[in-house]
Amino acid sequence: MKKLFALVLALALAISLMPTALAEENVLKYGVDADAAGGFDPHTISAVASMRMIGQMYNTLVDVDEDLNVIPELATSWEQPDDVTYIFHLAENVTFHSGRAMTAEDVKYSFERILDPEVGALGNSSSYAGDIDTVEVVDPYTVKITLKNINAPFLANLSSSYCSIVDKDVVEANDGSLLLADGGTGPYTLGEWVPDNSVTVKAFDNYFDEAGKATFDAIEFYVLTDASARLAALRTGAVDLISADTAMLDLVENDDSIQTVSYQSRNYTGLFLNVNRAPFDNPLVRQAINLALDREEIIEFAFNGKATISGFVPASLGHWAVDVTENEYYTQNIEKAKSLLAEAGYPDGFETNIIVGLLDSIRDTGLVVEQQLAEIGIKVNVQDVERGQYLDAWNGHDFDIMVCQNGAGSDPSRAVAFFFKTGSSANIQDYSNARVDELCELAVATTDTAKREEYYKEATNIILDDCIVAIVASPQEYFLASTALQGFAPNASNANNFAGVTLAK
Amino acid sequence: MRDYIIRRLLMLIPILIGVSIAIFVIMQLIPGDVVSGILGIEETPELRAMWEAKLGLDKPLVEQYFSWIGKAVTGDFGESFRTGEPVFPEIMKRFKISAELALLACVIAWIIALPLGILSSLKRNSVIDRIVRVVALLGVSVPNFASATLLILFFSKAFNYYSPVKYVGLFENFGTNMEIMILPAFILGSVMAGSVMRMTRSSMLEVLRQDYIKAVRAKGAPERVTIFRHAFKNSSIPIVTLIGMQIGGLMGGTVVIEQIFSIPGLGQYTLTGISQRDFPVVQGCVLFIAFVYVIVNLLVDILYTYIDPRISYS
């Protein structure tokens, strides 16, 4: 009997010790709304869902902080002997996930890959690295980049994942594609991708930057497309963090085990009017549409109140932003809108189509606009289209009114020139204003920030007064997390930054 | 019999060619293409031209189709436009997952539906019959995405339970795999059970009214033998037909459930292919599903000859 008792005791002791011996795995489980699309090649993948992993796997020469300051990443410092020459001094302790040390040769190779027309890299445009003329290796840790022409936002644009530094050997070993391979230097390496289920990235022990080192053994991204399933997974502790939409927020208000994390995005949602199509070619009609909108009501309905009234250069772009609350077209005035319509020759209004799609907030915006424009006699047919059709309308510039959510980027060269300069690929309205074009050219050709600000603000005001768009709001982005998650502070420059983030036991 | 099977298998050829042409045409007709998905907002005419050349989309349509079908007949379904991965191995991987889900759903459906359907026909118009009929109606009419969401919410709220989020294969870890599969299989099974139950009941009622059942009973056979050997077996032809169609349908038709439960099955692969306009993936998936559908139907037809020896295909 005594022996048996001793045995039981010994067993119990052993069992009670075992869990600590096995140690709870230190893994962050992150429930995401969409699967990585196509893979993880930083140079050819534009899908936001893939960027979540790419951001952990790759580094760029420089980064941009929350306040849009350019900060060191792979380059510890840089100098600009003249307006078109940049000399980068690289960190000397950077290793690729393959174990090979990163040198200036790799930087040269990476930009050559981006500029290679056969690769079809997304960074091969003047919004990113497209203006590069030559990349020279000065010494193993110094690289000199010369541009074809002055490109003021060049440095900030290098922070895009499209300009990631990649491992030549890995690219070559995978027939030129990094879609399913990992040629990065980031804090995490690509683990397993089970399409439509999960992606795992694993800690990289030799990460060069102590502060940015992986705090988890792995991050597991789980594809939970269904919003209620995603929330249930968080509630039960199956995942620690989820991407959230504003509709979820009320549901977790009284839940003490769940915290809400948010940041002000640099995106904006609004109406794009086809200025080359009647009746939108008439400025009076465009003004009337702007005046007919009650932006507060749209925010309440389409964003559950979690957005701020904004122009196409949102306030989160800091000193570049133009305050739109003072703009005469931002305050609803039905009477004036009606009289402008009458003046334009449409006393009884007209009928038009509005294309929505992609996001719930875009669809809901369309629905509220339908009601609001009805008040001034404009009958709107809301066409909720599938992704492919939406992109066709975008690329083909084929719409009357289109509701879009665009990213303003980190510099007005994106927010203003990319969307509104004549001939720019994202100018879906085929808008053309000689002065705006001139200002955009001037602004990109000088590195004087004060001058640039002046040029862009003038251009912004011209576009606002032309009323070619009716921008509504800049939304907040949300995450929901277990209260055990600590130190997670995403911002618009880096929405998936897990440096220093931990899970309390 | 052997000739019949060979004939049926030969019929697969025109069916699959027809399906492949239909898919090709539909993929051309629907708006959007794979390149706009890849480039998103960064699209420029130069980038588009480059990607079209890279993916062979700049060639004439007829040439695109024939170069695809030329490889397909040798068993090479090409590579995904997006990931560059060969399509066929991925289809096989996904098929195993979908087939497991479908079979589990069937087993659950049979366990629920057959006994209840038989019971309901025997106790016609009784309370039990009425309850079974209402349950069957519910099974058929509640959409599976609704019951899936409700069940997930119920388990998470009542038991603080969520099935494992990381997919594990059947042979990697049987227990975890079953835990992942059981809820979705139950939901799919309950939908199937509704119609199988109704079919079993009506088919049984019809047979039970036949003279030979009276003869069996008059002969003094035990009720158990009457019901199972004589009535049920003879009423099972329409049930088998229905189940065959359901299994075929489950191959691609589980997409909603796969999505809600994050199961990487064939349905989701097809859907991702469609939404990304990834032609080789869509073409491969649809052809494979059509193939499975035809084979399942052939098996059902062969099964008829065992159930009813009067049926023969000569």
Instruction: Residue A124: list chain B partners with CB under 8 A.
Output: 47
CA distance A462 to A468: 10
Contact A257, A66 (CB under 8 A): no
- Which residue type does B81 have? F
On whether both B270 and B131 belong to a single domain, the answer is: yes
Q: What is the CA radius of gyration of chain A?
A: 26
Neighbours of B32 (CB within 10 A): 20
CA distance A79 to A89: 9
Torsion angle in degrees (nearest 10) through CA of A296, A298, A302, A304: 20
On whether both B175 and B235 belong to a single domain, the answer is: yes
On whether both A256 and A331 belong to a single domain, the answer is: no
Positive or negative, the Cα torsion across A35, A37, A38, A43? negative
Task: Name residues 126-145 of chain A within 8 A of B (Cβ).
Answer: 127
On whether both B151 and B41 belong to a single domain, the answer is: no
Neighbours of B143 (CB within 10 A): 10
Tell me which residue of A151, A361, A328, A327 sits closest to A247, measured CA to CA: A361
Contact B54 A233 (CB under 8 A): no
**Residue B80 within a domain:** no
Q: What is the CATH number of the domain that holds A230?
A: 3.40.190.10
On whether both B243 and B177 belong to a single domain, the answer is: yes
Tell me which residue of A151, A149, A138 sits closest to A87, measured CA to CA: A138
Bridge-partner residues for A261, per DSSP? A479
On whether both B95 and B38 belong to a single domain, the answer is: no
CA distance A447 to A151: 8
Contact A229 B260 (CB under 8 A): yes
Number of domains in chain B: 2
Contact A324, A461 (CB under 8 A): no
**Residue A259 within a domain:** yes
- Which residue type does B8 have? R
Nearest neighbour of B50 by CB, restricted to A120, A224, A390: A120
Residue B75: burial class (beta carbons within 10 Å; 0-12, 13-18, 19+): exposed
Number of domains in chain A: 3
Positive or negative, the Cα torsion across A21, A22, A27, A29? negative
Residue with tokens 């002997």: A81
A173, A201, A235: which is the final residue of a domain? A173
On whether both A319 and A458 belong to a single domain, the answer is: yes
On whether both B230 and B270 belong to a single domain, the answer is: yes
On whether both A274 and A383 belong to a single domain, the answer is: yes
What are the DSSP E strand ranges found in chain B?
A: none
Give the pLDDT confidence score for residue A246 in this predicted structure: 86
Torsion angle in degrees (nearest 10) through CA of B126, B131, B136, B137: 100
Residue with tokens 């808008």: A431
Contact B105, B185 (CB under 8 A): yes
Neighbours of B66 (CB within 10 A): 12
On whether both A158 and A85 belong to a single domain, the answer is: yes
**Residue A11 within a domain:** no
On whether both A283 and A260 belong to a single domain, the answer is: no
**Residue A304 within a domain:** yes
Contacts with A150 (C-beta within 8 Å, 6 or more apart), sequence order? A83, A84, A444, A445, A446, A447
What is residue A32's three-state secondary structure?
strand
Contact B41 A38 (CB under 8 A): no
Q: What is the 3-state secondary structure (H, E, C) of B213-257?
A: HHHHHHHCCCHHHHHHHHHHHHHHHHHHHHHHHHHHHHHHHCHHH
- Which residue type does A46 have? S
Give the pLDDT confidence score for residue A112 in this predicted structure: 95
On whether both B244 and B104 belong to a single domain, the answer is: yes
The whole-angstrom distance between B196's CA and the closest CA on chain A is 29
Dmax (CA) of chain B:
85
On whether both B45 and B137 belong to a single domain, the answer is: no
On whether both A467 and A498 belong to a single domain, the answer is: no
Give the pLDDT confidence score for residue A17 in this predicted structure: 43
CA distance A338 to A319: 35
On whether both A134 and A280 belong to a single domain, the answer is: no
- Least CA distance to A388: which residue of chain B? B32
Q: What ipTM was predicted for this assembly?
A: 0.87
CA distance A26 to A207: 18
Measured at the alpha carbon of residue B188, what is the angle toward residues B99 and B106, in degrees to the nearest 5?
A: 55
Q: What is the CATH number of the domain that holds A437?
A: 3.10.105.10
The whole-angstrom distance between A7's CA and the closest CA on chain B is 30
**Full DSSP string of A58-94:** ---SEEE-TTS-EEESSEEEEEEEETTEEEEEEPTT-
A144, A173, A202: which is the final residue of a domain? A173
What one-character DSSP code corresponds to residue A384? E
On whether both A191 and A163 belong to a single domain, the answer is: no
Q: Say if A257 is an interface residue toward chain B (CB within 8 Å).
A: no
CA distance B187 to B108: 9
**Residue B106 within a domain:** yes
Contact A500, A25 (CB under 8 A): no
Q: What is the CATH number of the domain that holds A166?
A: 3.90.76.10
Contact B259 A226 (CB under 8 A): yes
Contact A238 B164 (CB under 8 A): yes
Q: The tokens of B113 are what?
A: 């539906």
The whole-angstrom distance between A264's CA and the closest CA on chain B is 21
Q: What is the CATH number of the domain that holds B118?
A: 1.10.3720.10
Helix residue spans in B162-232 (DSSP H):
174-208, 211-219, 223-225
Task: Name residues 341-400 of chain A within 8 A of B (Cβ).
Answer: 385-392, 394-395
Range of the domain at A204: 27-35+182-264+477-503
Neighbours of A348 (CB within 10 A): 9
Regions of chain B where pLDDT drops below 70: 252-253, 314
Contacts with B57 (C-beta within 8 Å, 6 or more apart), sequence order? B33, B34, B35, B51, B64
On whether both A448 and A410 belong to a single domain, the answer is: yes
On whether both A437 and A459 belong to a single domain, the answer is: yes
CA distance A3 to A7: 6
Contact A202, A189 (CB under 8 A): yes
Regions of chain A where pLDDT drops below 50: 1, 5, 9, 12-13, 15-22
**Full DSSP string of A218-266:** EEEEEE--SHHHHHHHHHTTS-SEEEE-HHHHGGGTT-TTEEEEEEE-S
**Residue A22 within a domain:** no
**Residue B32 within a domain:** yes
Give the pLDDT confidence score for residue A24 in this predicted structure: 63
**Residue A51 within a domain:** no
A173, A208, A224: which is the final residue of a domain? A173
Q: Say if B32 is an interface residue toward chain A (CB within 8 Å).
A: yes
CA distance A392 to B37: 10
Q: The tokens of A212 are what?
A: 């940015």
On whether both B137 and B240 belong to a single domain, the answer is: yes
Neighbours of A383 (CB within 10 A): 18
**Residue A93 within a domain:** yes
Nearest neighbour of B41 by CB, restricted to A228, A386, A426: A426
On whether both B50 and B174 belong to a single domain, the answer is: no
On whether both A448 and A318 belong to a single domain, the answer is: yes
Range of the domain at B49: 2-72
- Which residue type does A249 have? L
Question: What is the end-to-end Cα distance of chain B in Å, rounded?
Answer: 6
On whether both B68 and B111 belong to a single domain, the answer is: no
Q: The tokens of A118 are what?
A: 């056969």
CA distance A304 to A368: 13
Tell me which residue of B85, B96, B146, B83 sits closest to B264, measured CA to CA: B96
CA distance A85 to A88: 10
User: b or e along A389-413 (b: 16 or more beta carbons within 10 Å of the residue's beta carbon)?
Assistant: bbbbbbbeeebbbbbbbbbbbbbbb
Bridge-partner residues for A444, per DSSP? none
Q: The tokens of B303 are what?
A: 């099964």
- Least CA distance to A124: which residue of chain B? B47
Instruction: Residue A391: list chain B partners with CB under 8 A.
Output: 32, 36-37, 40
Give the pLDDT confidence score for residue A491 in this predicted structure: 87
Q: Say if A222 is an interface residue toward chain B (CB within 8 Å).
A: yes
What is residue B269's three-state secondary structure?
helix
Task: Name residues 36-65 of chain A within 8 A of B (Cβ).
Answer: 37-39, 44, 46-47
CA distance B310 to B307: 9
**Residue A41 within a domain:** no
Counting every residue, how long is chain B?
314
On whether both A230 and A287 belong to a single domain, the answer is: no
Q: Say if A406 is an interface residue toward chain B (CB within 8 Å).
A: yes
Give the pLDDT confidence score for residue B128 in this predicted structure: 86
**Residue B81 within a domain:** no
On whether both B138 and B216 belong to a single domain, the answer is: yes
**Residue A396 within a domain:** yes
Strand bridging mode A351-357 / A379-385: parallel
CA distance B155 to A229: 11
* CA–CA distances in Å: residue A76 to residues A63, A92, A178, A494: 11, 9, 26, 19
Residue with tokens 């629907």: B30
Type and span of the H or E element at A269: strand A267-273
Task: Name residues 197-236 of chain B within 8 A of A (Cβ).
Answer: none
Contact A324, A408 (CB under 8 A): no
